[in-house]
Structure formats: C-alpha cells, structure tokens
Amino acid sequence: MEISVTLGPRGRQPRPADSELGFGNYFTDHMFLMDYTPERTWHDARIVPYGPLALDPAALVLHYNQEVFEGTKAYLQPDGGIALFRPYSNIERMNRSLARMVMPQLNAEDFLHAMKELVRTDRSCFPTSPGTALYLRPTTIATEASIMVRASKNYLFFIIISPVGAYFKEGLRATRIYVSDEYVRSAKGVAGSTKTSGNYGPTLMVAQDAMAKGYAQVLWLDAMEHRYVEEVGQSNIFFLFDDELVTPPLTGTILPGVTRDSVIQLARHWGIKVAERPVAIDEVVEGCASGRLKEAFAAGTAAVISPIGGLGYKGHDNTVGNGATGPLASRFYEEITGIQTGRREDPFGWRIKIA
Ligand SMILES: *Cc1c(COP(=O)(O)O)cnc(C)c1O
C-alpha cells in the first residue's frame, strides 16, 4: 500500500505541558485517511494535516452508528525508538468488529503500516515524561448519504493520535466503583464484544449518576439476571479470591481486552492460578465481608491496571481487602508498563518496534 503524505505546519495543534495532557483531549499534527467504495475497495491511503472531516449530514454513521474503533498506544523506548504494544491483537479485533457491523475489513499489514507511518510522521509530538504515551484511535465510519436503515456502500477509515498523560500521577490509587443493578451495557445477542460507538452512548448517563454519588466508574452486571459481573467502565475486571485470579468469561457480552489477555498470560507465566468463570456479585460482596476477596482491579489500555478499593451495591459500601492498592495489581502494572516502555524483558514478543 502506497501512502501519499502531505505535511502541514508543525505545532499548530494546541498542546499543554505533559502534566496537563490528561487522556484524549489533544491531537497530533497529522491524521491518516483511506476511502472505501465497492468498485475500488480500499484506496487513496494518505497522511494529511489534522483537521475536520467533510461529511454529508445524511452519512449513515451519524444516524445508525455504523462505526467501529480501536484503541492502542505507542511508547517511547529507552534507546529513543518507538514500540507498539500487541498491535496485531487490535487489528484482529477491529476486523472482528467490522465483520459484526457488516463493514469492509482491513488488510493487517496495511493497517500496521498506516499506524507506523503516522506515528513516525508525528514523532515530534511524543510526550517524554514517565507514564505518557501516544494513544492511537483507528476508526471506520459509514459515509454513504442515506437515511435508510441499512449498511452503507462507502466508508472512511481514519487514524488519529492523542498524546496522553500519566494516568496515575502519584502511583496506583484505588478507586470506588458503583454497581449498577438497574442499567446494563450489553446483552447476549447484541454487540457487547464489538468496539462500536453504539455501545457507549447509553452508558454516559449511568456513569454520570455514579460520579455524582462519588464513585469513579460503573460496574456492569449481566442483562438477564443482574447477577453476574461483566466489566467496569470501559475495562475488564479481575478478582483475587484467596490465591486464585478470576475474571468473567468471554461469552459475547464482554469486550475481549488486550490488557485482559496480557494479565491472564502473565499470571499463568508466573504460576498463578487463573479461572475464566462467571462471578456473581453476591460472591464479591461476601468476599469483601469474609476477607476471601484479597484484591480487585480493572484492566484496559488507558490506565493499564486500575485497582478497585470498594464497591457500592444496593446502598451499601463494601471494602475490597484494606481498601488500598494490592500487591498483585501493582505487580501487573509494573510488569506490563515495563514491557511496554522497554524497561523489562518481553518474553511474549508483545513489543513491536516501529522506529
Ligand atoms: C476497549 C475496552 C476494553 C479494554 O480493552 P483493551 O484492549 O484492554 O484496551 C474493555 N471493555 C470495553 C467496553 C472496552 O471498550
């Protein structure tokens, strides 16, 4: 795949100090675009200055959410190079999401090439403080002008990059999360395992209500019985019951996280018992009371590992362990971020050097 490159002025995008970056608020100088039509399939791969897209107001994506996205990070390495973390996992997941949304899939090598070239083009936008990274957001949208409820003929694939700050500025901090026993994010047969925008809009109100009550995130339960734990916010969830690490199984309602898979592989590598099995919220609440639940944490690309210190459920607050960050959560955080940033051995070949 040939990529045409049109460079714009450098440093035109607003950009604060690394400590003020936060997550997803700023963007680099360029973006990657590629079009799809049934006649020409994917074509016109190009890197252009970052800026607004021109879309027909009838574009199908704006009406029926025919959209798929991904999220992955590029990390500065000790030798000044750049590495992506398990990009093929994101590429494969994007193609599964595209298939679910009847959208055209992408060639894996072209996709990786596009990410590489865009990161290289904007490497001067790399933040340098510890814990920072470039967050890549590959996205495909339905562009055909039609308000018939049907699949689009035409699509746009784009990649934008956001320089992101350190998620935890003063080390891992445990948060309190709110268990929603009223609202759900997915159900069997819907598209919970797909990274498609339609899954996220309806969660905003629930997250806002939880934050107004003083919680950091929502813990989602299953749609059938409101009994089994699914995910927390936009992350997967892990529990340490005695000496066994437990996470809900991938049965179609849960997003198959790359971080989730990394935690499972590392745990097995370290000889820790791991089970993918249903976890009832009652077991979690009982585990808090009895002390059987030693730790709980969320796993996702944005924060990598986010310890859970307590859960609000049916008007009661339950404390996990002593309410602070546990040693296993810290161990996963140190190991995974160490592999990502080239400070630790990479026995799994997860780091892909791109510059
Ligand atoms: C992206 C996402 C995750 C985490 O996936 P990672 O690949 O680890 O970033 C988990 N749950 C939801 C709903 C997500 O959108």
What are the tens digits of pLDDT across the range 137-165? 999 999 999 999 999 999 999 999 999 99
Looking at the CA of residue 71, tell me the nearest atom of ligand 1: 9
Q: Please report, rounded to a whole number, the percentage of residues in the chain having pLDDT higher than 90.
A: 97
At residue 170, the pLDDT reads: 73
| Top mutation candidate among 69, 72, 139, 235 for ligand 1, by most atoms within 8 Å of CB | 235
Average pLDDT over residues 176-180: 97
Side chain identity, residue 66 = Q
**Which fold is adopted by the domain 4-164?**
D-amino Acid Aminotransferase; Chain A, domain 1 (3.30.470)
Beta strands 351-353 and 82-85 are antiparallel
The per-residue pLDDT of the chain, averaged, comes to 97
Q: Do domains 4-164 and 175-340 have the same CATH topology?
A: no
169 pLDDT above the threshold of 90: no
CA of 146 to the centre of ligand 1 (A): 31
CA of 194 to the centre of ligand 1 (A): 10
Supply the residue whose CA is at minimum distance from atom 14 of ligand 1: 234
Structure tokens, 92: 């494969």
CA of 256 to the centre of ligand 1 (A): 7
Looking at the CA of residue 231, tell me the nearest atom of ligand 1: 11
CA of 217 to the centre of ligand 1 (A): 14
> Residue 314: how many CB atoms within 10 A of its CB?
8
3-state SS of 60-107 is HHHHHCCEEECCEEEEECCCCCEEEECHHHHHHHHHHHHHHCCCCCCC
Closest CA to 332 of 293, 302, 306: 306
Supply the residue whose CA is at minimum distance from atom 6 of ligand 1: 257
Average pLDDT over residues 262-270: 98
80 pLDDT above the threshold of 80: yes
Supply the residue whose CA is at minimum distance from atom 2 of ligand 1: 234
At residue 183, the pLDDT reads: 98
CB environment 290-305: b (16+ within 10 A), e (fewer)? eeebbbbbbbbbbbbb
Average pLDDT over residues 99-113: 98
Residue written as token pair 């936060």: 22
Average pLDDT over residues 331-345: 97
At residue 167, the pLDDT reads: 84
- The pTM of this model reads 0.97
Domain range list for the chain: 4-164, 175-340
Structure confidence at residue 226 as a pLDDT band (50, 70, 90): very high
Average pLDDT over residues 122-126: 95
219 pLDDT above the threshold of 90: yes
At residue 4, the pLDDT reads: 98
305 near 298, Cβ under 8 Å?
yes
CA of 139 to the centre of ligand 1 (A): 15
At residue 244, the pLDDT reads: 98
At residue 12, the pLDDT reads: 85
Supply the residue whose CA is at minimum distance from atom 3 of ligand 1: 235
**Roughly what angle, to the nearest 10 degrees, separates helices 87-100 and 108-121?**
120
* Interatomic CA distance for residues 236 and 230, integer angstroms: 8
CATH of 175-340 among 3.20.10.10, 3.40.50.1100, 3.10.20.30, 3.20.190.10: 3.20.10.10
* Interatomic CA distance for residues 133 and 15, integer angstroms: 14
Rounded to 5°, angle at Cα 160 from 237 and 31? 165
318 pLDDT above the threshold of 90: yes
CA of 66 to the centre of ligand 1 (A): 19
At residue 324, the pLDDT reads: 97
At residue 171, the pLDDT reads: 77
At residue 11, the pLDDT reads: 86
* Interatomic CA distance for residues 7 and 310, integer angstroms: 49
132 near 166, Cβ under 8 Å?
yes
Structure confidence at residue 182 as a pLDDT band (50, 70, 90): very high
At residue 114, the pLDDT reads: 98
